[in-house]
């Protein structure tokens, strides 16, 4: 099989690192060939804090995936998240020299490049510039200005910002694991691609990805991403609370959470007790499930309320910005019992658990369609899209025969050009930096 047909997603999380190899089958669905998973030791709240350990974990996950798929991995698409990510709204405009000509890609690129000149805090870098809507000569609510006449082109942008050093550290880990960086994507966007349907994005939906170290939020409305946020809490703080509250070791706390944990204390009877073996030679500990779920409940409520504040910041309470499709929960933390009911209770919004089977080929392994792997599946999809574009662009350059315009349109439509061109630039910049730093 030719290498360019497969793509590899590398999800560097706080609790686990996943390498996933996938390709498109003849029906355009994503077929997962192999998955490797290793415990993530050098990452805290989505940020690398131990390069050596992270490299070891990446290599372990990659080897496992290679063995499962009998494929050699050379390039990966990596996700970035972490508490250093923030987003802001920004409007900008350009005045066109010649309003006799219609607006084209170059005008939009110029406008977007102008946004990239925004002055950020020291050490911060713009990761994504996502156009929301355009205005041409004061006429508002234009989704696609290309081909229109006008002298003044303005737009509202959703700008995502992150720390340069954190992004470079991730690049460094990938490079030191003998891998090439094929692309960088914001993790909430990757998860959203894997679990949301186009209808949900149109109607308005908030995707909440509860990971080990962070909870990521992405809000869509009218098919466009409107808001992103990363909250520096996830499943790990729940485990931490259980550990402290019950005076047990972390491994036991994690098992308790997964096996018996519930986000809704009313569910458990007072007499339900679980016994935990004591440390060497000590008596076993008895913990009531009611107490366990009270501890979990308190922390989960805190996380959800913080996310809900972000959803309100986006403007969910205005009629025009209402999120009709409600909330989709994904990530490992979304598997907590009764979480869906609790989220509905706190936010009053319809909620479902999101499985990344939206674009997976039928007959995919049950395990891969788990919310745990949402980000990894999204990264594989992102890598496949990147490759399709490269192939089409290469064909366009190589052959005199025109590539059918439809083909190009289809791919450009799948992913707005602006986002792609910048992320590629970011990837190039990280690569350059690493090459020079060697």
pLDDT at 111: 93
In a domain, 92, yes or no: yes
Helix (H) or strand (E) holding 94: strand 86-95
Among the three residues 300, 328, 349, which one is the final residue of a domain in this structure? 300
Phi, psi (deg, nearest 5) at residue 281: 80, 0
Helix (H) or strand (E) holding 340: helix 339-347
Q: H helices then E strands: how many in the chain? A: 12, 18
Average pLDDT, the chain: 88
Among the three residues 162, 188, 221, which one is the final residue of a domain in this structure? 162
Which residue range is the domain that position 257 belongs to? 235-300
CATH at residue 113: 3.30.1490.110
In a domain, 330, yes or no: no
Give tens-digit pLDDT for 3-25. 458 899 999 999 999 999 999 98
Does 386 or 409 have the greater pLDDT score?
Answer: 386
Model confidence at 134, in pLDDT bands (50, 70, 90)? very high
In a domain, 411, yes or no: no
- Judge residue 416's burial from the number of C-beta atoms within 10 Å of its C-beta, 0-12 exposed, 13-18 middle, 19 or more buried: middle
In a domain, 98, yes or no: yes
Model confidence at 92, in pLDDT bands (50, 70, 90)? very high
**Strand-by-strand arrangement of the 224-231 sheet:** 224-231, 215-221, 205-210, 327-330, 351-353
CATH at residue 278: 3.30.420.40
Give tens-digit pLDDT for 226-238. 999 999 999 999 9
CA gap 426, 316 in Å, rounded: 31
CA gap 311, 407 in Å, rounded: 36
pLDDT at 110: 92
- pTM exceeds cut of 0.75: yes
Cα→Cα distances 69→22, 62, 63, 66, 77, Å: 9, 11, 10, 5, 17
In a domain, 126, yes or no: yes
In a domain, 142, yes or no: yes
Among the three residues 137, 162, 187, which one is the final residue of a domain in this structure? 162
pLDDT at 62: 95
pLDDT at 255: 93
Of 321, 320, 260, 244, the closest CA to residue 293 belongs to 260
CA gap 44, 217 in Å, rounded: 18
CA gap 278, 257 in Å, rounded: 18
The predicted model gives 298-316 an average pLDDT of 93
| Proportion of the chain above pLDDT 90, given as a percent | 60
In a domain, 270, yes or no: yes
CA gap 81, 12 in Å, rounded: 9
pLDDT at 420: 55
| Proportion of the chain above pLDDT 70, given as a percent | 93
The total domain count for the chain is 2
In a domain, 407, yes or no: no
The predicted model gives 198-215 an average pLDDT of 94
């Amino acid at each position: 099989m030719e290498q360019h047909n497969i793509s590899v997603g590398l999800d560097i999380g706080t609790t686990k690192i996943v390498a996933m190899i996938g390709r498109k089958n003849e029906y355009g669905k994503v077929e997962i060939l192999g998955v490797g998973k290793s415990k993530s030791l050098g990452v805290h709240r989505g940020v690398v804090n131990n390069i050596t350990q992270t490299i070891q974990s990446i290599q372990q996950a990659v080897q496992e995936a290679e063995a499962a798929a009998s494929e050699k991995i050379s390039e990966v698409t990596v996700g970035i998240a972490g508490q250093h990510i923030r987003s802001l709204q920004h409007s900008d405009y350009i005045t066109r020299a010649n309003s006799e000509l219609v607006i084209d890609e170059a005008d939009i690129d110029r406008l977007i490049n102008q946004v990239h000149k925004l002055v950020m805090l020291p050490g911060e870098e713009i990761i994504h510039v996502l156009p929301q809507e355009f205005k041409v000569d004061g006429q508002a609510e234009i989704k696609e200005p290309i081909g229109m006449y006008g002298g003044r082109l303005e737009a509202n942008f959703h700008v995502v910002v992150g720390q340069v050093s954190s992004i470079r550290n991730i690049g460094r880990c990938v490079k030191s694991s003998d891998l090439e960086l094929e692309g960088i994507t914001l993790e909430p966007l990757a998860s959203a691609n894997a679990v949301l349907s186009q209808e949900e994005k149109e109607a308005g939906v908030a995707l909440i990805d509860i990971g080990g170290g962070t909870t990521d939020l992405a809000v869509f409305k009218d098919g466009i991403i409107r808001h992103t946020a990363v909250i520096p809490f996830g499943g790990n703080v729940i485990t931490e609370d259980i550990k402290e509250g019950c005076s047990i070791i972390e491994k036991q706390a994690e098992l308790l959470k997964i096996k018996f944990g519930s986000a809704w204390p009313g569910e458990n009877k007072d007499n339900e007790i679980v016994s935990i073996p004591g440390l060497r030679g000590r008596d076993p500990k008895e913990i009531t499930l009611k107490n366990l779920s009270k501890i979990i409940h308190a922390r989960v409520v805190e996380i959800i309320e913080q996310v809900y504040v972000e959803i309100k910041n986006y403007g969910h309470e205005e009629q025009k910005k209402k999120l009709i499709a409600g909330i989709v929960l994904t990530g490992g933390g979304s598997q907590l019992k009764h979480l869906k009911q609790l989220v509905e209770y706190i936010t009053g919004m319809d909620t479902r658990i999101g499985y990344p089977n939206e674009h997976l080929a039928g007959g995919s392994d049950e395990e891969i369609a788990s919310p745990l792997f949402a980000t990894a599946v999204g990264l594989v999809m992102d890598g496949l899209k990147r490759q399709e574009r490269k192939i089409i662009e290469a064909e366009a350059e190589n052959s005199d025969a025109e590539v059918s315009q439809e083909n190009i349109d289809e791919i450009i439509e799948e992913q707005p050009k602006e986002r792609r061109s910048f992320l590629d630039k970011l990837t190039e910049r990280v690569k350059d930096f690493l090459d020079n730093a060697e």
